[in-house]
Amino acid sequence: MSGEQKVERTEQEWRQRLPEEVFRVARLGGTEPPFSGKYYHHDAPGSYQCACCGQSLFSSEHKYDSGTGWPSYFQPVDGAVVQERVDQSHGMVRTEVLCARCDAHLGHVFPDGPEPTGLRYCINSASLSFEPEE
């Protein structure tokens, strides 16, 4: 997070600032249907930011096709930009991934990814924005 200030807003403030689908996924912990997100088949070079606060989260260099239906990355740009917590919703135990700067729900991380980390950050497109490499 490199010393950036925590972004805190009320639910109403987030609702006013964000498109409905971004609010539903990122602020309410929702998910988008598999294979439907705008970044699933996206392969341009650049970086993926949090759709709520703009913090850089993932690099296109770490993106890969996991075949799961969601954009997948084997690591974030820095370990400090994401937080993890246990998610016991939907009758499962998973590890939820959140933006460390604004607590937006991004998706989940699983231990079945490629080397070098062995991790699969399965992230909702609705929780991301993209900045192309210059």
Active centre residues (catalytic): 122
Strand order in the sheet with 63-64: 63-64, 72-73, 120-123, 105-110, 94-99, 82-87
Quick count: other Cβ atoms within 10 Å of Cβ 46?
15
